[in-house]
Structure 1
Amino acid sequence: MVRITIDLIRKRSEHNEGEISTLEELALHQESIEKIELINRLCKDLRILLLQNNLISKLENLNRLKLLEYLNLALNNIEVIENLEGLESLKKLDLTVNFVGDVRDVKRLRVNEHLQELFLIGNPCADYDGYRDYVIVVLPQLRELDGHEITRSDRIKAMQKYAVAEGDVIRGYWNYREIRARQLDRHREKKERATITELEDGEGDGDEEATEAFWNSKSYHTPEDRREIADKVRKIEEKKNRGQENNNNRSPKFVPKLFSPEGRPYNVNQGRIPFHLDVEGDPEIVTLEVMTYRYLDTSLLNVDIQPNYVRVTVKGKILQLTLPCEVLTDRSTAQRNTATGNLIINMPRMTPLTTVTKRLNNSLDKSEEGNRSPKVIKSGSTITKRELLEIGPPVNDLDFSKIYKDSKTVRQEGPKGDLHGRKGSVNFVDNPEVPPLE
């Protein structure tokens, strides 16, 4: 059994920032609620209340909603129209597909002077002869009944047929009471048989077979069958949730460790995703290429770029890489390759690399140079040679100051030379007109 709680009301009041006291519209449909409670005291400013498609069997705890204008209770288990006298501003009441058998209950709505629209289609009373004429006469403030406008001529004709219509609805209700009694007996017998079978088979034995037999058995449009089906669905859901919790407890989900205790990021490749990290191709940009599937939806990819690491999540699997340098996160880009589908992430360096490059001079003609891209050679690291410091004069000293002698000095020293006729030899004859060598 699902009950109306403060948490449930606050959950459904997100449009009002979770404020309950000033709430004007509340939707609690499809919650398997069986009883109206708590709304009467907490939400006095309500104007619209939606409770359709639940298991509510009684109209109660609504008398303080003085501002309520629209009440929707379609697809519930209501059998009696009652306890609506306090809804002074009620304009529209929807009781579609319930189990109202006595149409004479609509007389209790006379005090709701502002009631303009009423929906009773899908109830047993809507099938009685004279149903429409009876309701039109009993509720003169109505303008529409079951979505059809009530004209002045319809009201005049209904008043003329009122006596007959009243007798028809009474006879229809007595017939429905007999049908309803048989429905209750059938449900009681069915419940007794189910109890005996459960005791014989033992609790929990043949659970799947019992569930299959239940869904294959014939069901009827009664409040009891609706409640029984809802209970069966709830039990199946609870069992499924328990099974999931047990599986989660047995095999806890693996959470990869992304950082060291000092805060240093780890290299993690949870899904073993192929990738290529280029740190030397461009001195200003670090490029990461992740080989993702070509037809993988981009919404399944998540990229987180930090100054010293990059994290890519592919369908919940984490790829985290530490970077060799700091990058500029605000200028980084991530794009998909339209041809291969790979994810390409460009991350500018905080400090670009300083490299020396030189262009090769190839002996190529102009046509070949236009077709080929220039080759670039990066300078390697400089190799230094250790040298020893020498102290004192060198052993092999060449004095280049004595390589030249003045001609005057040579004459004063006297004729000296070799025997081959060169200057300074015995046969040397000095010619003053010939300039000296310099």
Structure 2
Amino acid sequence: MVRRRAEHNECEIFSLEEVSLHQQDIERMEHLDRWCRELRILYLQSNLIPRIGGGTAVRTAKQNVGRLKKLQYLNLALNNIEVIENLEGCESLQKLDLTVNFVGLLSSVESLQHNVHLTELFLVGNPCAQFEGYRQYVVAALPQLMWLDGTVISRSERIRASQGLEEARRRVWEQEEEYLKRRGTEKEEALREKGDEERKPGFDGRWYTDINTAAPALAENQENREVEENLDEERREQEFWHTPCSFTPESRLEAHRHLEEKKKTKEK
């Protein structure tokens, strides 16, 4: 995939300075630190990445994107990221875009204090952006920033934010505790719903309205069977898209997998 996206660089990835991997259904990032050490711009928006680094362990994650020392701009908008982490090794990072993710641990922005060249950060559309004192806290915690969510940080704003940092930090921690409780409930509900779906009678990727009484009649007539299956598929679609649910990393991933399964069914 990386080599295909390096056409502008004659498909040479070792000297690649910019690559766009957006909208590729990526869930994990691996090997970029070994393949593309010259990367300065990396577009990864509109994927399904759950953590910055993408490895299954902290060590693996830090050895990936976190080792791109020349990286200046990282776009991870519209992914499933919940924590800001593993970017300490990106020594040249100037701009980080995390628009519309699921970052709820606002205190994790303090990990960016090591990125001394970071001047622009986007967190709009994340749960943490709704916290009371959100902007004040980020401005005070990251004195190197010049823009936050596209708005310039004035000298007077920075002074006011730094003066009230401890109080802002305390309020952020309180709100994080409440957020973590909600996320725990959301995760439990997602697991329960997944289990209920898998336990549905006759579940094989399709839903049946009356499997016991309809089966004999459907077996007698192939045409009626196909009609019934199409109706069941329509009912399934209606129920999936019209059942209210929270906007969470789990629901976003489930919606993506539902569309993928539908696409595969049509291809068959």
- Please say whether Structure 1 and Structure 2 have the same fold, judged by a TM-score greater than 0.5: yes
| 1:13 match: secondary structure | helix
Cα gap change, 1:142 to 1:192, in 2 (>3 Å): same
* Correspondent of 1:148 among 151, 166, 170: 151
1:253-292 equivalence runs, <5 A: none
Deviation at 1:63, TM superposition (A): 2.3
| 1:9 match: secondary structure | coil
For the 8 Å contact 1:52–1:76, the answer to whether it is kept is yes
Distance across 2 between alignment mates of 1:20 and 1:70:
18
> Match for 1:186: what amino acid?
E
> Match for 1:201: what amino acid?
G
Q: TM-score, normalised by structure 2?
A: 0.83
| 2:42 match: secondary structure | strand
Q: Which residue of 1 aligns with 2:167?
A: 164
Deviation at 1:210, TM superposition (A): 2.7
1:186-227 deviations in whole A, cap 9, x for unaligned? 212211211111xx1242453613333212212321000000
Residue 201 of structure 1 pairs with residue 194 of structure 2: no
* Correspondent of 1:112 among 115, 135, 154: 115
* Correspondent of 2:251 among 214, 225, 238: 225
Residue 30 of structure 1 pairs with residue 56 of structure 2: no
Deviation at 1:148, TM superposition (A): 0.8
Unaligned residue ranges in structure 2 (runs of 5+): 54-63, 209-231
Distance across 2 between alignment mates of 1:155 and 1:136:
6
1:308-327 equivalence runs, <5 A: none
Deviation at 1:38, TM superposition (A): 2.2
| 1:12 match: secondary structure | helix
Distance across 2 between alignment mates of 1:185 and 1:237:
28
For the 8 Å contact 2:88–2:115, the answer to whether it is kept is yes
Distance across 1 between alignment mates of 2:93 and 2:251:
31
Higher normalized strand content (fraction of residues): 1
> Match for 1:35: what amino acid?
R
Distance across 1 between alignment mates of 2:7 and 2:244:
41
Residue 49 of structure 1 pairs with residue 50 of structure 2: no
Cα gap change, 1:63 to 1:202, in 2 (>3 Å): closer
Distance across 1 between alignment mates of 2:18 and 2:37:
11
Distance across 1 between alignment mates of 2:203 and 2:25:
29
Which structure is larger by alpha-carbon Rg, 1 or 2? 1
25-34 or 163-172, larger mean C-alpha shift: 163-172
RMSD (CA atoms): 1.3
Residue 74 of structure 1 pairs with residue 77 of structure 2: yes
1:365-417 deviations in whole A, cap 9, x for unaligned? xxxxxxxxxxxxxxxxxxxxxxxxxxxxxxxxxxxxxxxxxxxxxxxxxxxxx
Q: TM-score, normalised by structure 1?
A: 0.52
Q: Which has the higher contact order (CA 8 A, sep 6+)?
A: 2
Deviation at 1:107, TM superposition (A): 1.1
> Match for 2:189: what amino acid?
R
Deviation at 1:93, TM superposition (A): 0.4
186-195 or 77-86, larger mean C-alpha shift: 186-195
Cα gap change, 1:212 to 1:201, in 2 (>3 Å): farther
Distance across 2 between alignment mates of 1:219 and 1:21:
44
Aligned length: 233
Cα gap change, 1:149 to 1:205, in 2 (>3 Å): closer
* Correspondent of 1:136 among 133, 136, 139: 139
1:304-343 equivalence runs, <5 A: none
> Match for 2:117: what amino acid?
H
Identity of aligned residues (%): 48
For the 8 Å contact 2:141–2:165, the answer to whether it is kept is no
1:234-267 deviations in whole A, cap 9, x for unaligned? 111112222xxxxxxxxxxxxxxxxxxxxxxxxx
Deviation at 1:169, TM superposition (A): 0.8
Residue 175 of structure 1 pairs with residue 168 of structure 2: no
Distance across 2 between alignment mates of 1:205 and 1:99:
31
Unaligned residue ranges in structure 1 (runs of 5+): 1-7, 243-438
Cα gap change, 1:117 to 1:202, in 2 (>3 Å): closer
Higher normalized helix content (fraction of residues): 2
Q: Which residue of 2 aligns with 1:252?
A: none
